[in-house]
Amino acid sequence: MTTSDVRGSGGASRRDVVRCIGAAGLGLATGMPLPRAFAQSKKPVSLSFWTFDNPQQRPWVHKRVKLFMEQNPHVKIDFQWFSFADLGKKISVGFATGTAPDGFVSQDWFMPTWLDKGLLAPLDIGKLGYDTYDHFTGDFAKAFVDGATKEGKVYGYPMWFYGYCNYLNTKQFKEVGLDADKDWPQNWEQLGEVAKRLTVKDGDKFVRQGLKFAMHSSQWTMIQFNPILIEAGGQWFDAAGKCTVNNDAGVRAMTIRASIARKYGAEDPADSIATNPIPGMDFLKERSAMFFCHPLPLDLVKAQNPEMADKGYFRPVQYPGVETGKGFSTTYGFNLVVNARTSPEKQEVLHDLYKFMMSDLVDGWKDTAPFTLAKKTGWADNPEVQKFPYVNEIIRAKDQGVFLPRTLVFNELADAMHRGVQKIMLSKADIKTTLDEVAAEVDRANAAYRKA
């Protein structure tokens, strides 16, 4: 009996087995595919990943993470989430204490801080499916990319990128003799007059506020005030880095911000049921006729107000402008990033996870609509996208919006502004005096950062 006559149950001869054993030893070096029976099992990897909470976006991210683990059983991911307002602060504490996650979603206004401190690992764009740097950067909006790159290296893989709209209750517009499609306010004076007309009071108590500004978190304070400041000709910092929110343009912008309550009597800043998970709750419960908000998901509207969802009596329009018809909102986005202190093995897995996570943009849209994706192509012209009500109005807000200030002391700026707005709106403090205090506080934070 010859060697070639002795075969295993799979039909392989001893010579075949010996040959395969040799190939198994060489497979990694040669790149040759290995017979399945002799493939090496992958080394177990456990890593941590953090994101922000949101009724739709967080569940979709979680879904993609779970699918990735199902397809890669050697990978275990500790998935955690925090409120939108708390995520950046939690990560800052994590970096300071050595407990930051291996990978996380970064709001783009925190990218300058992470990059300045060298806390993020550069991404291998080839592993994300891009053959060149230009190929990658050309796939996303330039302003967004500028915050995710440094010295020719990429540090953030963009996920969502969107602007805000002014959401109108079209039923309430009709009740006061206004046509929401024609009479939506296109400058700040029109906004005040329309808000006043939409306001309903029972004595001194508001039954319905004409317009509602968010007062529940510092990030929302920044998001809603940012375009007003820029429209008024202001800026957050001058060329030397000094905070200039207290100059004439800043005072003008804050006067506009305060006018809905102070001049037009159409808002009670202290009367709100907004929460971090649902900042637009006053609008959804029809306690406010207008609200500046990120794109509103239909499922969220249906969950909070089935009648509003079923009858569709709400719609987005663009922000009012200092110049009529030239309003714009804050635009911002989110990046998938890698902790620079994470091991090479985990960084490798995070690249695979991120590529998989963003590999089906239509799936992302189906689950998270109408949150617009950062990528320029591969989703916006899809029929699933175009059938969403007013989707092009939402896309327009994204395309013409302005970014939040890119500063190394964003948390300090946001907290100072939030306290300032609270003083102005709740305590009726003097606008110029309060903004002087805000600017001084931010300048001290900047000096402390530079000194540290």
Q: What is the pLDDT of residues 191-218, one digit of tens each?
A: 999 999 999 999 999 999 999 999 999 9
- Cα–Cα distance, 350 to 357 (Å, whole number): 10
Residue 54 has a pLDDT of 87
pLDDT at 23 over 60: no
Residue 11 has a pLDDT of 38
Q: Give Cβ neighbours of residue 295 (< 8 Å, ≥ 6 apart).
A: 162, 165, 316, 369, 370, 371, 372, 394
Residue 27 has a pLDDT of 37
pLDDT at 422 over 90: yes
- Binned at pLDDT 50, 70 and 90, residue 313 comes out as very high
Residue 437 lies in a domain: yes
* E-assigned strand segments in 139-219: 149-150, 153-154, 157-163, 165-169, 200-202, 205-208
Do residue 416 and residue 315 come from a single domain?
A: yes
Contact status, residue 261 vs residue 335, Cβ threshold 8 Å: no
7 versus 278: the higher-pLDDT residue is: 278
Residue 277 has a pLDDT of 84
- Cα–Cα distance, 104 to 89 (Å, whole number): 13
Do residue 338 and residue 297 come from a single domain?
A: no
Do residue 55 and residue 111 come from a single domain?
A: yes
- Cα–Cα distance, 5 to 171 (Å, whole number): 85
Residue 143 has a pLDDT of 82
Which tokens sit at 77?
Answer: 């991911």
Do residue 324 and residue 255 come from a single domain?
A: yes
pLDDT at 290 over 80: yes
Do residue 439 and residue 396 come from a single domain?
A: no
Average pLDDT for residues 106-135, to the nearest whole number?
96
Residue type for position 337: V
- Binned at pLDDT 50, 70 and 90, residue 41 comes out as low
Residue numbers of the domain that contains 382:
45-163+331-403
Do residue 380 and residue 335 come from a single domain?
A: yes
Average pLDDT for residues 80-102, to the nearest whole number?
94
Residue 33 lies in a domain: no
Average pLDDT for residues 160-182, to the nearest whole number?
97
Residue 18 has a pLDDT of 33
pLDDT at 14 over 70: no
CATH number assigned to the domain comprising residue 221 = 3.40.190.10
Q: Total domain count for the chain? A: 2
* E-assigned strand segments in 329-384: 330-338
Residue 4 lies in a domain: no
Do residue 183 and residue 154 come from a single domain?
A: no
Q: Which of 39-53, 146-160, 225-239, 291-305 has the lowest mean pLDDT?
A: 39-53
Summarised one tens digit per residue, pLDDT across range 384-415 is 999 999 999 999 999 999 999 999 999 999 99
Which of 366, 387, 403 lies at the terminal end of a domain, its last residue?
Answer: 403
Residue 104 lies in a domain: yes
Residue 28 lies in a domain: no
Residue 343 lies in a domain: yes
Average pLDDT for residues 352-368, to the nearest whole number?
95
- Cα–Cα distance, 131 to 128 (Å, whole number): 9
Residue 195 has a pLDDT of 98
- Binned at pLDDT 50, 70 and 90, residue 24 comes out as very low
Q: What is the CA radius of gyration of the chain?
A: 26
Do residue 93 and residue 72 come from a single domain?
A: yes
- Binned at pLDDT 50, 70 and 90, residue 452 comes out as confident
Nearest one of 358, 25, 20 to 160, comparing CA atoms:
358
Residue 218 lies in a domain: yes
Buried-exposed string 21-41: b where 16+ CB fall within 10 A, e elsewhere: eeebeebeeeeeeeeeeeeee
Do residue 113 and residue 56 come from a single domain?
A: yes
Do residue 57 and residue 147 come from a single domain?
A: yes
Residue 2 lies in a domain: no
Do residue 274 and residue 386 come from a single domain?
A: no
- Averaged confidence pLDDT in the chain: 91
pLDDT at 21 over 80: no
Do residue 264 and residue 243 come from a single domain?
A: yes
pTM: 0.85
